Structure 1
Amino acid sequence: MTNLTQIGKQAKAAARKLASFDTVTKNKGLLSMADALVANQQVILTANKQDLASANEMPKKFLDRLMLNEQRITDMANGLRSIAQLSDPTAEIDRGWFNADGLQIIQRRVPLGVIGIIFEARPNVTADATGLTFKSGNAVILRGGKEALQTNLAITKILREALIQIDLPADAVQMVSDPSHESAQEMMNLTGYIDVLIPRGGRGLIQRVVKTATVPVIETGAGNCHVYVDRDANLDMATAITVNAKVQRPSVCNAAEKLLIHRQVAPTFLPVIAKALIKHGVHLRGDETTCQIMPEISPATKKDWDTEYNDLIMAVKVVDSLDEAITHINDHSTHHSETIVTDNLERGQKFQEQIDSACVYVNASTRFTDGGMFGFGAEIGISTQKLHARGPMGLSQLTTIKYEITGNGQVRK
């Protein structure tokens, strides 16, 4: 019996218990885990320092994701507390009716069971994922990257001990201690134990899981997001939205990577937005027309249009029409988040209708694509596929439906 098989068996047993817990019990567990994180801040920070020391050659953007401080731990704890305040999807009946034969049919939400999560150097995922899976009645098996191993193990130990102290199943949350590719591959094939696998990280990780896993997968995270500035845009608004979408937190999946500008406003707008972005340290790459207007901008390559930078880099393209912008985005985006800046309501509606992405905005930053911003509490990830969930995944997206049918002796004729 492999270690992962044992973990899977433990998770399955814990999931069966969790499925029967009422909302009060689950909230008690969440609050206990939140208090434990705050009480054990120094333990977590000590472990995090070990990880940071081992990862000192990582790019700065990845070190920022890995680094914890007292405020970030407090935020993790508050995230668990806010999940406790959310409605429990498994406590409600979706709908009920009687069919023609007099059978009472009830459709209700039930947990998925055991959720596996493979993620990279973001230790806050350990707490967020535990909170959402626990509240929705699921057990979780977590496998983080080697860069955050000590931090993840410390957080998981604290969460498990908090559950044990109030007589709840610690195996509701388990961390795979082996960060090797072999353990990830074994987890991708843990059929019979993991009901759904959610990868969180860069495009390489996500595609590797999607292509090789034999357990069901929800594809998340990769964000080649676009801002399109229409010919009828308020250019001051377009500047504010573009700067926010690109620079507020450039390493996350809902940051904008591409800027499309209508040809009619490009000569006026491009020098303004370039100055604003360069002021924030953004390196710009442009298509032929962009470079003609501003020769100091580096030429973009074909690869740029499909690249998620997660960095202070942005590619700029001048387009002749809304239709060209829509076609370009649909051809090159990862179907995550796109926005149009326009004062023309009809064009805004067309953009929302024809863009094939999970979240499509009019006159707002793509940075709002987030479970917390949508009112879902902490999110498990942002799904860029169409089944079984799409967009920010909160509690409801971690459940499925079940039909309960009651009769009084009916047989089918």
Structure 2
Amino acid sequence: MTAEARIQDMAARARRASATLAQLPAERTAEALRAAAAAVREQSRAILAANAEDMANASALSAAIRDRLMLDGPRVEGIAAALEAVAALPSPLGQEIDRSTRPNGLVLQRVRVPIGVVGIIFESRPNVTADAGALCLRAGNAAILRGGSEARASNRALHAALLQGLSETGLPEAAIQLVDDPDRALVGAMLRAAGAIDLIIPRGGRSLVAAVQQDARVPVLAHLDGNNHVYVHAAADPEMARRIVLDAKLRRMGVCGAMETLLIDAAFPAAAALVGDLLARGCEVRGDRRAQALDPQVEPADEQDWNTEYLDAICSVAIVDGLEAALAHIAAHGSGHTDAIVTADQDVADRFLDRVDSAIVLHNASTQFADGGEFGLGAEIGIATGRLHARGPVALEGLTTYKWVGRGTGQVRG
């Protein structure tokens, strides 16, 4: 069977499953997700063994990718907890967005409905198998998942737990399908499956997203890289700034919410301490001329550094002359993902939040909060950095569309 035929067959089964899901009471999908969470816990040893197999084959990969790939007991428990969190969220299906009554008495409503069949193409992170499957299911969609070959065994083990949850609660197993074959032709077939797959969501590095956008004939909800900034304003509390900077960069370096560039106001009195903290924690610092003057260990930054998502223990540092210079730097080099300001000046903070054109903007908080779970969304499929349909953490509402419902009393246009 050709790659196209295989994907068309999976999509046809997904379409039938999505039609079933759209008609189910919300409690049925919640029940399935709770059963899947129980299965993840029951099968944790098998999941960890599968992940150990993947990790053994990943020795040549970067530390950041290995961190995203690795599962341990707490991370497996986090996957199970995320399934339960999604189950506990109210279903968006049937939710009335707005209502109006026309002069002729016709009542119009916009109500949320599933998108239908969603394809998710992702790299490295095995938890995406569970998060994406759960969110699609709760929003009434069928999912076709294609993970990276580096996580193949882990994805297969987690998918088995999801299938157990579906089976135990009588939901169609075709609601969450896994493309388990590493043949890249299957990815191309997914991207060309217009009419069979309704939406493609890529989750991974810039090269993956760019390739999907270039080749897709299916609408794409894109998540580009997280070239995120923290701007420490002159009026920032020094101790707060130190805590936020260290967390934003070093809590987890391989996540898209990590800070990649630190902007320090030239009038901030403790700039050297911020740079020293990063260096003391083993982070390489690359800076402009004024940043290099703060510490002899700071390496010179070039133009490419300001545009790089390192996902590693590397940070660019620039000294800027006030808010306007910080805003100009972010506008020139940011990726529209997540940017933060640290300041005690509320007026400056409000101007920053208003003028930075990113999916997530934060005041006095770490960029590592760029996460659907931290936003109360249960989980996320990714952080969308575009401007259409959904933006920021894509969770249940981002996986729905709407239809217009008109209720009349015999109105005609004649």
TM-score, length basis structure 1: 0.96
Q: Quick check: 313-322 or 49-58, which moved more?
A: 49-58
The number of residues matched between the two structures is 411
CA distance in structure 1 between the aligned counterparts of 2:45 and 2:235, rounded to whole angstroms: 53
Q: Answer whether contact 1:221 1:381 (CA < 8 A) is retained.
A: no
**What is the one-letter code of the residue matched to 2:403?**
K
Determine the C-alpha separation between the residues in 2 that align with 1:369 and 1:321: 25
| 1:224-303 mapped onto 2 (5 Å cutoff) | 224-265=227-268, 268-303=269-304
Matching residue's letter, 1:387: L
CA drift of 1:105 comes to 1.6
Letter in 2 for 1:33: A
Query: In 2, are the aligned partners of 1:262 and 1:319 still within 8 Å (CA)?
Result: yes
1:59-208 to 2 correspondences below 5 Å = 59-208=62-211
Partner of 2:390: 389
1:209 aligns with 2:212: yes
Deviations 1:309-352 (A, max 9, x none): 00111000111121111011011111001111112111111111
Instruction: Structure 1 unaligned segments of length 5 or more: list them.
Output: none
Report if the CA contact (8 A) 1:22-1:91 is conserved.
no
Q: Give the C-alpha shift of residue 45 in structure 1.
A: 2.1
Residue type at the aligned position of 1:298: E
Summarize the Cα distance change of 1:293–1:39 in structure 2 as closer, same or farther, 3 Å threshold: closer
3-state SS of 2:412 partner: coil
Q: Does 1:56 align with 2:56?
A: no
Q: How far off its partner does 1:389 sit?
A: 0.6
Q: Match of 1:7?
A: 10
Worse-matched range after superposition: 386-395 or 161-170: 161-170
2:203 counterpart of 1:219: no
Residue 337 (structure 2) pairs with residue 336 (structure 1): yes
Deviation at 1:40, TM superposition (A): 1.6
In 2, Cα distance between the equivalents of 1:295 and 1:72? 39
Work out the percentage of aligned pairs sharing the same amino acid: 41
Distance 1:160 1:313 in 2: 40
**Shift in Å at residue 152 of structure 1?**
0.9
Contact 1:259 1:316 in 2 (8 A): yes
Describe the SS at the equivalent of 1:95. strand
Q: Distance in 1 between matches of 2:168 and 2:346?
A: 56
Distance 2:12 2:156 in 1: 20
Cα deviation digits, residues 27-85 of structure 1 (max 9, x gap):
11111111111122222222222212221222222222112223322221111111111
Secondary structure of the residue that 1:346 maps to in structure 2?
helix
Give the Cα–Cα distance (whole angstroms) in 2 for the partners of residues 343 and 388 of structure 1.
Answer: 34
CA distance in 1 between partners of 2:217 and 2:184 (Å): 16
**Deviation of the 1:221 alpha carbon:** 4.8
Q: 2-side partners of 1:362 and 1:153: how far apart? A: 40
1:91, 1:69 → 2: CA distance? Answer: 38
Work out the CA distance in 2 between the residues paired with 1:272 and 1:200: 36
> Which segments of 5 or more consecutive residues in structure 2 lack a partner in the other structure?
none
**In the alignment, residue 379 of structure 1 is paired with which amino acid?**
E
The answer on whether the counterparts of 2:32 and 2:171 sit within 8 Å (CA) in structure 1 is yes
Matched, 1:28 2:28: no
Q: Is the 8 A contact 2:276 2:295 kept in 1?
A: no
How far apart, CA to CA, are the structure 1 residues paired with 2:94 and 2:111?
8
Match status 1:18 vs 2:27: no
C-alpha displacement of 1:3: 1.1
Query: Structure 2 length as normaliser, TM-score?
Result: 0.96
Distance in 2 of aligned mates of 1:92 and 1:385: 24
Residues 1:43 and 2:46 are matched in the alignment: yes
Shift of 1:180: 3.4
Which digits, 9 at most, give the CA deviation of each residue in 1:162-218, with x for residues without a partner? 312322110000111122332222211111111111111111111211222111111
Q: Does residue 361 of the first structure (1) align with residue 362 of the second (2)? A: yes
Deviation for aligned residue 1:308? 0.1
CA distance in 1, matches of 2:223, 2:8: 25
Paired letter, 1:114: V
How far 1:97 moved relative to its partner?
3.2
Q: Secondary structure at the match of 1:150?
A: helix
Whole-angstrom distance in 1 between the partners of 2:331 and 2:25 = 43
In the alignment, the residues of structure 2 paired with residue 293 and residue 148 of structure 1 have an alpha-carbon distance, to the nearest angstrom, of 42
1:350-403 alpha-carbon deviations (Å, 9 max, x no partner):
111111101111111111111111111111111111111111111111111111
SS at match of 1:190: coil
Look up the equivalent residue of 1:344 and give its one-letter code: D
Q: Separation in 1 of the partners of 2:159 and 2:117?
A: 16
Q: What CA RMSD, in Å, does the superposition of the two structures yield over aligned residues?
A: 1.4
